[in-house]
C-alpha cells in the first residue's frame, strides 16, 4: 500500500495522465490503457485502494467529477446547431436512444439478473457512447462524412441525456417496485427536479449575464464557472439526492444557447479539467475494484449480457429507428456495430453504484462490474475493428493523412498541388472568395468560410485531415487558429508560417511564442515563400535510398532549397520544422522547394552567349 494519502493522490494523477500520454503516443484507446493501469495498481498488485484510503472523501470526489463531466458535455448542446443535423441523427438520438434504453434494461434484468431499478439505471447509462471515445475512433478510421457525422452527434447529444434518464428511471422504478409505494415521495422528487432545472438555468443565465456585462474579469471566468457548477450541483443534491445532475446539465445547456463569445474559452478549460478528472476518476474506480468483483466479469450471465448488448440491442435500435430514412444498408451496418461505451459511462455508473448501495440494493455491487465489462469489451472490439469494417463496407476515405491549410495564396496553392501529386488529401480554407480564386483555378478542394466560426466547425468535415497549417498574411490570426485547434489536432500536428519580419531584423512579434510550431524555418516568412513561388521555385520530390542517403542529399542540395515535408512508403508524412527532428530513411521521399537550377543555367548560358556575340561584333567593327 502507498505510504501516505498525499502520495496516493499524486500516484492517481500520475497514472491517469501517464496512461493518456501512452495512449496518445502509441495510438491506443485511452480507456484500455487506463483500465489496465488501474487494475494493475489496484486489485492485481494491491498498491492502492482509493475507496478505502480516501474514506468519506471518495464519494464527494466522484460526485464533483461527474458534475463537471456532465456540464462539459451539455455545453455542446446548442439547439441552433442540432436543428440542422438531419433526420438520421435526430431519429438515432431520440427514437434509437429510447429503444436502446428499453431493450438494454430488459436485457439487464432478464439476462444479467439485475432488479428493475438497477436494470433501468444501467440501461439509461448505456445509451451513452460519448465524444471522448467516438472522436478518436473517427479520426483513426477516416470514415466518410455522413456516418462520421451521425456517430459524432449521437455521442454529443446523448452524452448528458443518459445520466438524466438513469436518474428518472431510478426514482420511477423504485416507486413502482416498492412494497408500500408513497406517491408523495415521487411528487417531492419531481418538484425537486423542477427546482434543480430552474436553479441550473438561473446559474447559467446569471453567470452569462456577468460575463457579457464585464462583471467578471477574463482571468476569473473559467474558475468562476467551475465553482458555480459545483455550487449548483451541491445545492440541488442536498435538497434531493440525484437532482444535482439535472442542475449542471441545465446550466450547461443554458450557457451553450446564450451566444456568449467566451463560452468557447470556457469549453477548452472544461475539456482540460474533464480530461484530468476523467483520468483520475477512472484510475480510482478501477483500482478500487475487488478481485472477487473483477472475477464476476467472467460470469456467463454478464458475458451473455455484453454479447446481447453488442449484437442484438444496438443493431435493433439502429435499424428500427432509421426506418424510412435515406441511410444505405452499409451505413446502417456500421452504425449498428460502432457504439463504444466510454469513460463517462463508467464514471457515472460509479456514482449510481454508491446511490443504489445507500438505498439498500444488493445489485449495486455488480453495477461497476457490468459497466466495466461492457466498456472494456466495446472499446477494444470497436476500436480495433472500425477501420477494417469501414474499408469492407466502402465507408472509409482511403489514402494518406491529409492537410488542412488556412489561407489561400500563391505558396499555399502550390503546396496543395504538391500534396495532391503525393496523393495526400488537402483542402484550403479562406473567408475571402477572391483569395480562393487561385485555389479554384488550380482545382484544389476549398471551403469558403471563417475557420474560427462555429458554423465552419459543424459544416466542414475535418476527419480526413491530420495536419493543420495556418498560412494567412496575419500573424496574430495564424497564432489564434493554431491555439484554437491544438487540442483537436495535437501540438505536433499544428503549424503556422513564421512571423519573421525583415524590417525588424528578427521576429519582432510576440505571436511567435504562441500557438503552433513554426513551419519549415523561422527565417522564412509567408512573404519569402510567396516570393520564391513567383521566382519559379520548383516543388521537387527526391527519393532517399541506400545508394543516395539523406546525408548526401543534404550535402548536394542547393543552399536556397527549402525542405517542406517527407512522405514515407506507409503513407505517413512529416512536415519540417526547426522545433521537430525530421530524419528521412531509405524509402522515404523528401519534398522540397528548390531553386530552378536548370533554368538558371540556361539563363546564364544565354547571357554569356549574348556577351560573346556583343564582344565579337565590337571587335569586327
pLDDT at 399 exceeding the cut of 70: no
| CATH code of 414's domain | 3.40.50.720
Does residue 170 lie within any of the structural domains? yes
Q: Tell whether 266 and 335 lie within a shared domain.
A: yes
Q: How confident is the model at residue 88 (pLDDT cuts 50, 70, 90)?
A: confident
Cell numbers 428518472 correspond to what residue? 168
Higher pLDDT, 285 or 621: 285
Does residue 614 lie within any of the structural domains? no
Does residue 12 lie within any of the structural domains? yes
Q: Tell whether 441 and 302 lie within a shared domain.
A: no
What is the arrangement of strands in the sheet containing 446-448, beginning at the earlier edge strand?
A: 446-448, 426-430, 402-406, 465-470, 494-496, 517-518
pLDDT tens digit string along 596-617?
A: 765 556 556 666 666 666 665 5
Which of 83-87, 329-333, 403-407 has the least mean pLDDT?
A: 83-87
Distance separating alpha carbons of residues 261 and 256, to the nearest angstrom: 10
pLDDT at 202 exceeding the cut of 90: yes
Please check whether residue 71 is in contact with residue 247, taking contact to mean a CB–CB distance below 8 angstroms: no
Distance separating alpha carbons of residues 178 and 361, to the nearest angstrom: 12
Give CA 162 to chain center in angstroms: 20
Domain boundary among 392, 425, 457: 392
Which of 533, 512, 621 shows the shortest CA–CA distance to 577?
512
pLDDT tens digit string along 181-191?
A: 667 777 888 88
Distance separating alpha carbons of residues 283 and 20, to the nearest angstrom: 11
Does residue 608 lie within any of the structural domains? no
Q: Tell whether 207 and 290 lie within a shared domain.
A: yes
pLDDT tens digit string along 416-432?
A: 888 888 888 888 888 88
Q: Tell whether 381 and 412 lie within a shared domain.
A: no
Does residue 271 lie within any of the structural domains? yes
| 613 exposure class (CB count in 10 Å sphere: 0-12, 13-18, 19+) | exposed
Give CA 433 to chain center in angstroms: 30
Which of 312, 213, 223, 234 shows the shortest CA–CA distance to 64?
234
Q: Could you give the percent of the chain with pLDDT greater than 90?
A: 9
Please check whether residue 420 is in contact with residue 465, taking contact to mean a CB–CB distance below 8 angstroms: no
pLDDT of 135 reads 67
Q: Tell whether 332 and 411 lie within a shared domain.
A: no
pLDDT at 82 exceeding the cut of 70: no
pLDDT of 395 reads 82
Which of 74-83, 98-107, 169-178, 226-235 has the least mean pLDDT?
A: 74-83
Stretch 513-526: mean pLDDT: 75
Which of 357, 360, 375, 369 shows the shortest CA–CA distance to 58?
357
Q: Tell whether 408 and 383 lie within a shared domain.
A: no
C-alpha cell at 587: 524509402
Give CA 472 to chain center in angstroms: 25
Distance separating alpha carbons of residues 427 and 468, to the nearest angstrom: 10
Cell numbers 519540417 correspond to what residue? 576
Does residue 494 lie within any of the structural domains? yes
Computed on alpha carbons and rounded to an integer, the radius of gyration of the chain in Å comes to 29
Domain boundary among 373, 392, 411: 392
Q: Tell whether 378 and 412 lie within a shared domain.
A: no
Stretch 493-518: mean pLDDT: 62
pLDDT of 318 reads 92
How far apart, in Å, are the Cα atoms of 442 and each of 412, 416, 592? 11, 9, 20
pLDDT tens digit string along 18-76?
A: 988 887 777 677 777 888 898 899 888 888 888 888 888 888 888 888 788 788 777 77
How far apart, in Å, are the Cα atoms of 436 and each of 254, 432, 459, 532, 564? 37, 6, 18, 20, 22
pLDDT of 510 reads 46
C-alpha cell at 126: 448505456
Which residues does 551 contact at the CB level (< 8 Å), separation at least 6?
A: none
pLDDT of 620 reads 46
pLDDT at 304 exceeding the cut of 60: yes
Which residues does 564 contact at the CB level (< 8 Å), separation at least 6?
A: 415, 418, 520, 539, 575, 576, 591, 592, 593
Distance separating alpha carbons of residues 503 and 450, to the nearest angstrom: 30
pLDDT of 130 reads 65
Phi-psi region of 423 (alpha: psi -120 to 50; beta: other; left: phi over 0): left
SS3 432: coil
Q: What is the average pLDDT value for the chain, to the nearest integer? A: 80
Strands (E), 361-437: 402-406, 426-430
pLDDT at 502 exceeding the cut of 70: no
SS3 575: strand
Q: Tell whether 378 and 470 lie within a shared domain.
A: no
Tell me the H-state helices in 84-217. Answer: 87-91, 97-110, 116-125, 131-141, 145-176, 183-212
pLDDT tens digit string along 536-586?
A: 888 888 888 888 888 888 887 877 788 888 888 877 788 888 777 777 888
| CATH code of 126's domain | 1.20.1530.20
Domain boundary among 357, 392, 427: 392
Q: Tell whether 284 and 256 lie within a shared domain.
A: yes
Q: Could you give the percent of the chain with pLDDT greater than 70?
A: 83
Cell numbers 541506400 correspond to what residue? 546
Structural domain tally of the chain?
2
pLDDT of 267 reads 57
Q: Tell whether 440 and 342 lie within a shared domain.
A: no
The count of other CB atoms within 10 Å of the CB of residue 584 is 20
Q: How confident is the model at residue 354 (pLDDT cuts 50, 70, 90)?
A: confident
Q: Tell whether 382 and 488 lie within a shared domain.
A: no
Question: Could you tell me the residue range of the domain that residue 548 belongs to?
Answer: 402-603
Q: Tell whether 560 and 519 lie within a shared domain.
A: yes
User: Cα angle vertex 184, ends 248, 250, to 5°?
Assistant: 10
Whether the CA torsion 178, 184, 190, 196 is positive or negative: it is negative
pLDDT of 320 reads 92
Does residue 619 lie within any of the structural domains? no
pLDDT of 619 reads 46
The count of other CB atoms within 10 Å of the CB of residue 400 is 19
DSSP for 165-189, please give it. HHHHHHHHHHHHT-SS--HHHHHHH
Please check whether residue 347 is in contact with residue 66, taking contact to mean a CB–CB distance below 8 angstroms: yes
pLDDT at 140 exceeding the cut of 70: no
Count H helices and E strands in the chain, helices first: 27, 10
Does residue 617 lie within any of the structural domains? no
Distance separating alpha carbons of residues 205 and 31, to the nearest angstrom: 35
Amino acid at each position: 500500500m502507498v505510504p501516505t494519502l498525499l502520495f496516493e493522490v499524486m500516484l492517481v494523477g500520475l497514472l491517469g495522465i501517464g496512461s493518456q500520454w501512452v495512449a496518445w503516443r502509441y495510438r491506443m484507446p485511452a480507456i484500455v490503457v487506463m483500465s489496465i493501469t488501474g487494475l494493475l495498481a489496484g486489485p492485481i498488485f494491491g498498491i492502492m485502494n482509493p475507496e478505502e484510503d480516501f474514506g468519506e472523501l471518495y464519494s464527494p470526489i466522484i460526485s464533483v467529477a461527474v458534475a463537471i463531466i456532465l456540464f462539459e458535455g451539455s455545453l455542446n448542446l446548442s439547439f441552433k446547431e442540432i436543428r440542422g443535423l438531419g433526420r438520421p441523427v435526430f431519429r438515432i438520438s431520440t427514437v434509437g436512444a429510447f429503444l436502446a434504453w428499453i431493450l438494454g434494461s430488459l436485457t439487464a434484468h432478464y439476462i444479467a439478473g439485475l432488479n428493475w431499478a438497477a436494470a433501468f439505471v444501467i440501461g439509461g447509462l448505456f445509451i451513452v457512447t460519448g465524444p471522448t471515445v467516438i472522436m478518436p475512433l473517427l479520426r483513426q478510421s477516416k470514415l466518410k462524412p455522413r456516418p462520421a457525422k451521425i456517430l459524432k452527434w449521437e455521442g454529443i447529444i446523448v452524452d448528458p441525456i443518459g445520466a438524466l434518464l438513469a436518474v428518472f428511471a431510478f426514482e420511477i422504478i423504485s416507486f413502482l417496485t416498492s412494497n408500500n409505494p408513497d406517491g408523495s415521495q415521487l411528487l417531492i422528487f419531481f418538484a425537486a427536479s423542477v427546482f434543480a432545472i430552474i436553479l441550473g438555468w438561473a446559474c447559467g443565465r446569471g453567470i452569462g449575464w456577468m460575463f457579457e456585462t464585464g462583471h467578471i474579469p477574463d482571468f476569473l471566468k473559467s474558475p468562476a464557472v467551475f465553482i458555480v457548477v459545483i455550487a449548483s450541483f451541491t445545492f440541488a443534491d442536498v435538497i434531493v439526492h440525484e437532482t444535482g445532475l439535472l442542475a449542471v446539465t441545465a446550466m450547461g445547456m443554458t450557457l451553450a444557447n446564450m451566444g456568449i463569445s467566451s463560452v468557447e474559452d470556457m469549453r477548452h478549460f472544461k475539456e482540460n479539467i474533464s480530461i484530468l478528472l476523467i483520468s483520475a476518476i477512472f484510475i480510482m474506480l478501477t483500482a478500487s475494484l475487488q478481485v472477487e468483483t473483477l472475477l464476476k466479469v467472467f460470469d456467463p450471465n454478464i458475458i451473455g449480457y455484453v454479447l446481447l448488448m453488442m449484437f442484438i440491442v444496438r443493431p435493433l435500435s439502429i435499424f428500427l429507428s432509421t426506418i424510412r430514412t435515406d441511410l444505405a444498408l452499409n451505413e446502417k451496418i456500421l452504425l449498428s456495430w460502432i457504439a463504444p461505451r466510454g469513460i463517462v459511462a463508467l464514471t457515472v455508473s460509479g456514482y449510481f453504484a454508491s446511490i443504489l448501495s445507500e438505498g439498500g440494493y444488493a445489485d449495486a455491487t455488480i453495477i461497476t462490474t457490468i459497466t466495466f465489462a461492457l466498456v472494456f469489451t466495446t472499446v477494444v472490439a470497436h476500436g480495433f475493428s472500425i477501420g477494417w469494417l469501414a474499408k469492407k463496407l466502402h465507408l472509409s476515405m482511403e489514402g494518406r493523412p491529409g492537410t488542412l491549410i488556412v489561407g489561400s495564396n500563391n505558396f499555399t496553392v502550390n503546396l496543395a498541388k504538391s500534396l495532391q501529386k503525393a496523393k495526400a488529401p488537402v483542402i484550403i480554407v479562406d473567408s475571402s472568395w477572391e483569395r480562393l480564386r487561385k485555389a479554384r483555378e488550380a482545382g484544389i478542394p476549398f471551403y469558403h468560410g471563417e475557420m474560427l466560426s462555429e458554423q465552419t466547425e459543424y459544416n466542414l468535415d475535418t476527419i480526413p485531415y491530420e495536419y493543420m497549417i495556418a498560412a494567412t498574411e496575419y500573424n496574430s490570426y495564424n497564432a489564434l487558429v493554431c491555439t484554437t485547434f491544438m487540442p483537436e489536432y495535437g501540438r505536433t500536428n499544428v503549424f503556422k508560417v513564421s512571423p519573421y519580419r525583415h524590417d525588424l531584423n528578427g521576429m519582432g512579434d510576440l505571436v511567435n511564442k504562441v500557438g503552433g510550431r513554426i513551419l519549415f524555418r523561422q527565417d522564412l516568412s509567408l512573404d519569402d515563400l510567396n516570393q520564391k513561388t513567383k521566382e519559379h521555385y520548383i516543388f521537387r520530390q527526391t527519393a532517399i535510398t541506400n545508394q543516395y542517403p539523406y546525408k548526401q542529399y543534404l550535402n548536394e542540395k542547393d543552399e536556397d532549397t527549402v525542405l517542406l515535408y517527407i512522405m514515407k512508403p506507409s503513407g505517413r508524412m512529416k512536415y519540417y520544422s526547426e522545433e521537430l527532428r525530421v530524419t528521412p530513411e531509405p524509402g522515404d521521399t523528401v519534398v522540397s522547394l528548390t531553386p530552378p537550377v536548370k533554368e538558371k543555367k540556361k539563363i546564364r548560358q544565354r547571357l554569356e552567349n549574348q556577351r560573346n556575340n556583343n564582344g565579337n561584333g565590337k571587335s569586327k567593327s
